Amino acid sequence: DMEDLISIGTIGLIKAIKTYNGDRGVRLATYAARCIENEVLMHLRNIKKVRQEVSIYDPIGYDKEGNEISLLDVLTVDNEIVDMVEMKLQEEKVRNKIGVLSQRERQVIE
């Protein structure tokens, strides 16, 4: 069910945010995508115990226009989300760096 996959993906995203360590040199978006994918794959393995085979091309639901959606369609990463997360990380880094500047240096930058 599409709602189940969205819930499982959300759980993966939450786990990614809680366990992310920026010091390892991996972008949050990349790390989150892997965590979400792992959660979905674990779910599919659990389903596989009941059902013999699961394919990423199997239909899992329908979109707003009534077209069939496969698991492959759901697992793609939206570049806008990736860009937004990267921008937030950059903002956080800049704010941390500004905090170590002297008052005069901060005035020059601002």
Question: How far is the CA of 46 from the CAs of 51, 52, 60, in angstroms?
Answer: 9, 11, 16
Distance from C-alpha of 85 to C-alpha of 91, rounded to nearest angstrom: 10
Delimit the domains of the chain by residue range. Answer: 1-76, 78-110
DSSP 13-66: HHHHHHH--GGGS--HHHHHHHHHHHHHHHHHHHHHHHSS---TTSEEEE-TTS
110 residues of the chain, pLDDT tens digit each:
778 888 999 999 999 999 999 898 889 999 999 999 999 988 888 877 766 666 778 888 888 888 888 877 777 666 677 777 788 888 888 888 888 888 888 778 77
Report yes or no on whether pTM surpasses 0.75.
no
